[in-house]
Amino acid sequence: MTLSDLSIKNPVFAVMISAALVVFGAIAYRGLGISQLPELDFPVVSINTTRESASPETMDYDVTDIIEDAVSSVEGIDYIQSQSLQGSAVTTVFFRLERNIDAAMQDVQNAVASAMNRLPTDIDPPVISKVNFNKFPIIWLGIHGQKPLPEINRFVNDILKQQIQTIPGCGGVMYGGLRPRNMRIWIDQEKLEAFHIDALDVFRALQAEHVEKPAGYLKSDKREINVRLMGEAKTPKEFSSLPVISKPDGSIITLGDVAIIEDGMTDRRSFARFNKETTVGVGVMRATGANVVQVCEEVKRRLPILRALAPEGVEIGISTDFSLFIKDDIEEVKHSLVMGVVLTALVALMFLGSMSSTLNVCVSIPVSIMGTFVVMKYLGFTLNFMTLLGLSLSVGVVVDDAILVLENIYRRMENGETRFQAAFNGSNEISFAALASTLSIVAIFIPVAFMQGVVGQFFFQFGITVTVAVLISLVVSLTITPMLSSLFLKLHKEVLLKPPTMRGAISLPINLFRYTWWGADKYVVYPLLVLPTHWLMSFMEFVYKRVLRFAVDYPVVILPIAFSFACSLGFLVTGLKIPLPSWVSAKFGVPAIVIKPIGTELVPSEDQNRFVISLICPVGVSIDYVEEMIAKCENVLINLKDPVLDSEIIASMFSSISIRPGMLISEGVVFIRLVSSTDRTLTQTQIIQDVRKRLSGLAGVRPIVLDLSTQGFTPTRGFPIDFAIQGPDWKTVVDYAEKVRLRMIESGVVADVNSDYRPGMPEEQLFPDRDKASEMNVPIKKLAFLLNVAFGGVRNGRFTDEDKRYDVRMRLLENQRDTPDLLSHLHIRQEIPLTAGVNPPTIPINDLSQHRTVSTLPLINRYNHLRKIEITANMSPGVSQGESIARCKQIAEDVREEMELPPSYRSVQLGNAKAMAQTIDSMWRSLVFGFLVAYMILGIQFNSFVHPLTVLWAVPFGVTGGLLVLWLCGDTLNLMSMIGLVLLAGLVKKNSIILVDCANHFREAGKNARESMLEAGFVRLRPIMMTSLATIAGVVPLAFGFGAGAENRGPLARSVIGGIFLSTLITLIVVPSFYVLLEKINHWLNSLTKGVKASPVLPPASNIKQSNQAALQPIEV
């Protein structure tokens, strides 16, 4: 007994299956999180090492090189990147996506531990942590007010940070402008000279006098008492009284006599502003697996509590909230989903002619969608762009099987069968075609399991969502649809008849409902929808009969034309250049007609109401200079107005320096949040171009604009054009990279060209005179440490206040270390013990050394153990990412050849550029593999090697149609449009399956191939048109929608529409031709083997068999 037989005989079974899917789907829906994209946590481990005041060169040789060697043997590494800066080194290990991050981190920890004996002894212990570069703050809080900045900093560091870290889903906090509390000891060099001591003596004295140490415990027979020495100072006054040295007269020189003690903050190496007001920024990052929207909503829910904890006069506001666009994007997709359901129902109503039949078909939509929620919840999916897009695209697909079943039942009722007989026979007759068409869609997603990298992870959720939805729709079409048809389906002539009047106690509302329903069918639906559709279908059938006869009679004419048409559109991918005759070229000044190919990119740029401006100042400038440049940038931005509405288009600005590790002090960043796209007439791209033009006039700074909408597809946040220059000789690499950068600027295909090579950092280098130093009894190590204490500043202990521990830092007064000339004022004492008597005078540093100013690098970058120079850029307006990358690669190769460099000097694609190449390559392979898998599955279903080829003839035309629409609409070939093409390869086979399956049924009845295909074309024209239009209607809101995320949804949906439209028109002609041609070839081959003369007309194939209506035997004549 088949599933449809069981449902017709036992209606409760069908109802309960659907009810269970809806109920459990509603429960699952409530538990689904919301995110913009599938939650993808890249396995990345970072090793942060600190060595105070060490130069980038020293960090690179002594730390980075050793750590890279140690971790390179860890299994599963994709690549390694490193940064060496002043006083710190960051080595980041990127693992392949399938690597377990916890196991990888443990392996990295073991590798670093084994290398500790090779690292310098004065480094801080390396900090090893899991990192997700997509875990940038999802919401920024700005803390500002009338209170002094130190008090605001203390509130943020001591109170607010702990409160935010307790929020569920918070995975850490990032700061902008935070300066933690420190006890600052500002040493006065002139006073040190007066007492014949140096800064190192003060350092040693503080270490000896500022001590808190446990001393054990006292024990008696019945009790124990802990003993602890409480020798730490806690206030500036107590620090000032700490002894440094005794005078000859017995008095004490205290720390306050030689230094200024301040309860202050760390050095000003970062700052932040919100809307031009000084602030402390607190960025909340999500934890692994946490939901972006939920975390942001929880932060906003707790804002009243956080504000109550703030000191009076301190305000806490939201400066940036990245969840706003996510919610808008998801709501737009939901709206498109609902609109797709309405349009699909309208198409069904036009063809089926009554609202009851339409409801019968459309019941598969909510059941399929709700059932899919159950699987999504089980697999840990969220309501994100990819899953909701899969559901939206499935709206028109899930009704296809129901339409096939209902239309077949309806046709049998028109032929005289009873409702029960038609439901029983019609559902069984069409079940094979429904199963085959559904499995053909599922087959296209099987290669997803073999896709690697980010593309496979993103495509996985989309593919599973669509697969589950269409499989559930198949179950619904074989259960609830035939069951309802057997009970309620009516012919249209019956629908138009006035229903009989009921009598009884509740007859009035029932009669009112029935008459309203009947009136809507007869006086609204029939004249406005059904009748015009009937006339249109009659005309199409009239034309199609004649075209189809010609197609099956002359396949040798039709097939070459169709094949040539598909091949001629190859220029969509490759481009085309047609030279013009010389006289035409001379007259119009155009040497050739150039047709540009479809552009390629990773993902289209979206209007997310936000972007970032990086302000790159000259190397070596102070933080005050960078702040001044940021202020000038803010003044330019604040004056931006909408040219039509004359309203402000900047909603907020958040500016900062050193907002994340690895940023130079000479670089600032400005986060821009625009007003909603509905409140302005300019697009985000137009605003970015305007901002780029306005800021280009600022002297002393180089602005670089970054569109954040294309982020999240790689482990790093980067630019669309991103590659590294590497080679064996560093000086040659520098020359090579600089020539490539300049050539890229001249090319005009890219904008915002930038390089991470930052020469020109001034460095004052001291060269000790070893003979003099030895003669004066001054060890070089002491000289180095003294310089570090005086100019770099050192941490020299900690102190306690209100149960919290803070650093104590020692350094020279600022006015004694602001120019290189002040080096001559620094004095050092001979390495002899201090006495209470008269100590010898200190020695000027100039007597022991010489110094000079040189240019160095503030930052050294590596990629896979080799130094690199990374070059990034944006595309110029009107140029696709693929075209820009190809041009830049060609430039790099041309420059290498001009410099006559060996292949060991190379350019390596990074970031989004690398991901784009992998995406396009993976998608084309997926199409090919999907084609092969579909052939195998169809071969099993049809039990034939021939019929799958007939069915798959539709795929090239579907893909060609999708490409044609993308080209006409100016869209690009990107991740989203390629997903549409892959889905299209599964959808377009449905029409072919319907035709071939019906033709095989007629072959079983004794007709030859030509007659069978003619009959099949006439019979299946209406269901093919219904399913195709229903699928198109379901994605129309996505294709032509507006609002958040429309830039990504549009190309995908438009490619589906174009492919289905073209493949439907051509399939109705080409598939019958190919079917008949294959049968003729098959008959000719059989005649050769049997020695029988071939006949131009195929005899009846009465021996075609079908088992369980699920497989067909090969045709034998």
Mark whether 1090 and 991 lie in a shared domain: yes
Q: Which amino acid is at 839?
A: N
Which of 170-184, 414-428, 1028-1042 shows the highest mean pLDDT? 170-184
DSSP state of 973: B
- State how far the Cα of 435 lies from the Cα of 440, in Å rounded to an integer: 8
Collapsing DSSP to helix, strand or coil, 941 comes out as helix
Q: Which amino acid is at 135?
A: K
Q: Give 861-925 as a DSSP string.
A: EEETTEE-EEEEEEEPTT--HHHHHHHHHHHHHHHHHHTT--TTSEEEE-HHHHHHHHHHHHHHH
* Predicted confidence (pLDDT) at residue 212 exceeds the cutoff of 70: yes
233, part of any domain: yes
225, part of any domain: yes
236-254 pLDDT per residue, tens: 999 999 998 887 777 788 9
- Which of 1057, 1069, 1068 is closest to 1029 using CA atoms? 1057
- With bands split at pLDDT 50, 70 and 90, how would you rate the model's confidence at 1103? very low
Q: Please, how many CA atoms are within 13 Å of residue 426, restricted to the half-sphere of its CB?
A: 32
Which long-range contacts (C-beta less than 8 Å, at least 24 apart) are formed by 814-823? 814/186, 816/188, 816/189, 816/190, 817/790, 817/791, 820/764, 820/851, 820/853, 823/764, 823/766, 823/851
Residues 6+ apart with CB under 8 A from 394: 368, 369, 372, 465, 466, 469, 470, 473, 1034
531, part of any domain: yes
Mark whether 960 and 1002 lie in a shared domain: yes
545-576 pLDDT per residue, tens: 888 888 888 888 888 887 777 777 667 777 67
CA dihedral 431→433→438→440, nearest 10 degrees, is: 150
- State how far the Cα of 442 lies from the Cα of 474, in Å rounded to an integer: 12
788-839 pLDDT per residue, tens: 888 878 888 889 888 888 899 999 988 888 887 777 778 888 887 766 556 7
314-356 pLDDT per residue, tens: 888 888 887 887 777 777 777 777 777 788 778 777 777 666 6
In this structure, what CATH number is given to the domain that contains residue 921? 1.20.1640.10
Is residue 826 within 8 A of residue 790, CB to CB? The reply is yes
What does the pLDDT average to over 681-693?
87
pLDDT > 90: what percent of the chain? Answer: 4
889, part of any domain: no
Is residue 27 within 8 A of residue 499, CB to CB? The reply is no
432, part of any domain: yes
Q: Strand 650-657 relative to strand 667-674: parallel, antiparallel, unpaired?
A: antiparallel
Least confident stretch, 1-15, 249-263, 879-893: 1-15
Report CA-CA distances (Å) from 1062 to 961, 1022, 1055, 1098: 5, 17, 11, 30
* Predicted confidence (pLDDT) at residue 750 exceeds the cutoff of 50: yes
Mark whether 479 and 385 lie in a shared domain: yes
- With bands split at pLDDT 50, 70 and 90, how would you rate the model's confidence at 1104? very low
- State how far the Cα of 118 lies from the Cα of 69, in Å rounded to an integer: 11
Mark whether 464 and 368 lie in a shared domain: yes
- State how far the Cα of 271 lies from the Cα of 351, in Å rounded to an integer: 66
Residue with the bigger pLDDT between 1106 and 158: it is 158
Collapsing DSSP to helix, strand or coil, 165 comes out as helix
DSSP state of 153: H
* Predicted confidence (pLDDT) at residue 939 exceeds the cutoff of 60: yes
pLDDT at 1096: 42
What does the pLDDT average to over 69-75?
89
pLDDT at 964: 83
What does the pLDDT average to over 732-738?
91
* Predicted confidence (pLDDT) at residue 110 exceeds the cutoff of 70: yes
485-518 pLDDT per residue, tens: 787 777 666 556 666 676 766 767 776 776 676 6
pLDDT at 1101: 40
pLDDT at 1097: 40
pLDDT > 70: what percent of the chain? Answer: 90
* Predicted confidence (pLDDT) at residue 675 exceeds the cutoff of 80: yes
Report the alpha-carbon angle 555-558-559, nearest 5.
80
Please report how the helices 911-942 and 954-968 are oriented relative to each other, as an axis angle in degrees rounded to 10: 150
Structural domain count, the chain: 5
872-928 pLDDT per residue, tens: 888 888 788 888 888 899 999 999 989 888 988 888 888 777 777 777 777 777 777
- State how far the Cα of 534 lies from the Cα of 973, in Å rounded to an integer: 38
Mark whether 442 and 535 lie in a shared domain: yes
* Predicted confidence (pLDDT) at residue 662 exceeds the cutoff of 70: no
What does the pLDDT average to over 218-241?
88
Phi-psi category of residue 767: left, alpha or beta, with phi > 0 → left and psi -120 to 50 → alpha: beta
In this structure, what CATH number is given to the domain that contains residue 99? 3.30.70.1430
DSSP state of 96: P
- State how far the Cα of 1054 lies from the Cα of 1060, in Å rounded to an integer: 10
What residue numbers bound the domain in which 1100 lies?
3-36+327-568+916-1112
Mark whether 126 and 193 lie in a shared domain: no
Report CA-CA distances (Å) from 1057 to 412, 583, 700, 1050: 31, 42, 51, 10
pTM for the predicted model, two decimal places: 0.76
Q: Which residues are bridge partners to 804 per DSSP?
A: 801
pLDDT at 1107: 35
Is residue 49 within 8 A of residue 115, CB to CB? The reply is no
CA–centroid distance for 417 within its chain:
55
Report CA-CA distances (Å) from 370 to 28, 343, 401, 435, 1035: 8, 19, 17, 21, 19
* Predicted confidence (pLDDT) at residue 69 exceeds the cutoff of 80: yes
Residue with the bigger pLDDT between 1100 and 929: it is 929
Q: Give 543-607 as a DSSP string.
A: HHHHHHHHHHH-HHHHHHHHHHHHHHTTHHHH-EEEEPPHHHHHHHS-SEEEEPPPPB-SS----
983-1042 pLDDT per residue, tens: 777 777 777 877 887 888 788 777 887 888 888 888 888 888 887 888 888 778 777 766
Number of DSSP helices (H) and strands (E) in the chain, helices first: 39, 35
* Predicted confidence (pLDDT) at residue 633 exceeds the cutoff of 60: yes
- State how far the Cα of 405 lies from the Cα of 501, in Å rounded to an integer: 32
* Predicted confidence (pLDDT) at residue 1117 exceeds the cutoff of 50: no
Mark whether 218 and 297 lie in a shared domain: no
374, part of any domain: yes
- With bands split at pLDDT 50, 70 and 90, how would you rate the model's confidence at 452? low
Mark whether 1067 and 957 lie in a shared domain: yes
- State how far the Cα of 894 lies from the Cα of 908, in Å rounded to an integer: 15
DSSP state of 1103: T
- Which of 227, 44, 245 is closest to 134 using CA atoms? 44
- State how far the Cα of 1056 lies from the Cα of 1039, in Å rounded to an integer: 9
In this structure, what CATH number is given to the domain that contains residue 310? 3.30.70.1320
pLDDT at 716: 63
CA–centroid distance for 268 within its chain:
34
pLDDT at 184: 92
* Predicted confidence (pLDDT) at residue 98 exceeds the cutoff of 50: yes
- State how far the Cα of 464 lies from the Cα of 375, in Å rounded to an integer: 9
- State how far the Cα of 413 lies from the Cα of 423, in Å rounded to an integer: 9
- State how far the Cα of 695 lies from the Cα of 53, in Å rounded to an integer: 35
- With bands split at pLDDT 50, 70 and 90, how would you rate the model's confidence at 3? confident
- With bands split at pLDDT 50, 70 and 90, how would you rate the model's confidence at 1111? very low
pLDDT at 781: 86
pLDDT at 1114: 31
Q: Please, how many CA atoms are within 13 Å of residue 748, restricted to the half-sphere of its CB?
A: 1
DSSP helix, strand, coil percent of the chain (3-state; round to 5): 55, 20, 25
pLDDT at 1: 64
pLDDT at 1078: 79
- State how far the Cα of 319 lies from the Cα of 280, in Å rounded to an integer: 11
* Predicted confidence (pLDDT) at residue 1116 exceeds the cutoff of 60: no
**Cα Rg, the chain, nearest whole Å:** 38
> Average pLDDT over the chain, rounded to whole?
81
* Predicted confidence (pLDDT) at residue 1100 exceeds the cutoff of 60: no
Collapsing DSSP to helix, strand or coil, 696 comes out as coil
Q: Give 400-461 as a DSSP string.
A: HHHHHHHHHHHHHHHTT--HHHHHHHHHHHHHHHHHHHHHHHHHHHGGGGG--HHHHHHHHH
* Predicted confidence (pLDDT) at residue 1106 exceeds the cutoff of 50: no
pLDDT at 836: 56
Mark whether 347 and 303 lie in a shared domain: no
881, part of any domain: no
892, part of any domain: no
pLDDT at 260: 92
In this structure, what CATH number is given to the domain that contains residue 196? 3.30.2090.10
Mark whether 227 and 242 lie in a shared domain: yes
Mark whether 62 and 97 lie in a shared domain: yes
Report CA-CA distances (Å) from 447 to 358, 441, 679, 927: 35, 12, 44, 8
Q: Strand 181-187 relative to strand 804-812: parallel, antiparallel, unpaired?
A: parallel
Mark whether 443 and 529 lie in a shared domain: yes
